[in-house]
């Protein structure tokens, strides 16, 4: 456990240029869901979140990440531009950046229970944003070049 009873979970893409940290209020890693959409299925992604936590994606230079959108066009899947691993999915909801992290990027992947299946077929934009408003994690995307590190 970290500060204030939080659990900090760390991970990265395959090449290490993109890193993720999920700070959660849960004493154990939160449950994950394997979305049944074609993007997530083809990439083998499974996602976790904590609406009371914080998600930080860090990368070294602007060219280290790519953003991919499809479907309703309200989600950016952030992918390492070098090794192709989808690390997080983020989107703006009520002027706040919220996101989920791909548990397959976590350093201790074995700490997570197997992901349950999820389907979001049939959700319209309002339904999707309402679900995210309740459940997704407040997020930040940080570039080391931008902050002078």
CB contact at 8 A, 93 and 38: no
Domains annotated for the chain, with CATH where assigned, are: 3-143 (2.170.150.70)
Q: What is the pLDDT of residue 3?
A: 52
pTM: 0.90
**Conformational region of residue 31, where left means phi above 0, alpha means psi within -120 to 50, and beta covers everything else:** beta
**Nearest residue to 58 (alpha-carbon basis) of 11, 25, 96, 98:** 11
**Nearest residue to 111 (alpha-carbon basis) of 122, 119, 103:** 103
The better pLDDT of the pair 149, 29 is held by 29
Q: What is the pLDDT of residue 4?
A: 58
Dihedral (CA of 29, 36, 69, 45) sign: positive
The per-residue pLDDT for range 96-128, each reduced to its tens digit, is: 999 999 999 999 999 999 999 988 888 899 999
Cα-to-chain-centroid distance, residue 36: 16
The Cα–Cα gap between 124 and 129 comes to 9
CB contact at 8 A, 30 and 12: no
Q: What is the pLDDT of residue 60?
A: 94
Q: What is the pLDDT of residue 1?
A: 43
Q: What is the pLDDT of residue 47?
A: 97
Q: What is the pLDDT of residue 57?
A: 98
Q: Is 75's pLDDT higher than 60?
A: yes
The Cα–Cα gap between 64 and 50 comes to 26
Q: What is the pLDDT of residue 118?
A: 87
Q: What is the pLDDT of residue 133?
A: 95
Q: What is the mean pLDDT of the chain?
A: 92
Q: What is the pLDDT of residue 44?
A: 93
The per-residue pLDDT for range 12-22, each reduced to its tens digit, is: 999 999 999 99
Q: Model confidence at 26, in pLDDT bands (50, 70, 90)?
A: confident
Which tokens hold the place of 115?
């992901």
């Amino acid at each position: 456990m970290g500060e204030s009873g939080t659990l900090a979970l760390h991970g990265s893409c395959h090449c290490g240029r993109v890193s993720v940290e999920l700070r959660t209020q849960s004493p154990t890693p939160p449950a994950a869901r394997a979305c049944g959409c074609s993007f997530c299925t083809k990439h083998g992604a499974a996602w976790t979140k904590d609406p009371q936590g914080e998600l930080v994606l860090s990368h070294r230079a602007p060219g280290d990440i790519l953003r991919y959108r499809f479907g309703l066009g309200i989600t950016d899947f952030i992918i390492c531009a070098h090794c192709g691993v989808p690390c997080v999915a983020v989107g703006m909801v009520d002027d706040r950046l919220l996101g989920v992290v791909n548990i397959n990027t976590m350093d201790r992947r074995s700490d997570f229970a197997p992901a349950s299946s999820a389907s979001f077929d049939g959700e319209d934009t309002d339904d999707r944003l309402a679900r995210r408003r309740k459940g997704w994690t407040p997020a930040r995307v940080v570039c080391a070049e931008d902050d002078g590190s």
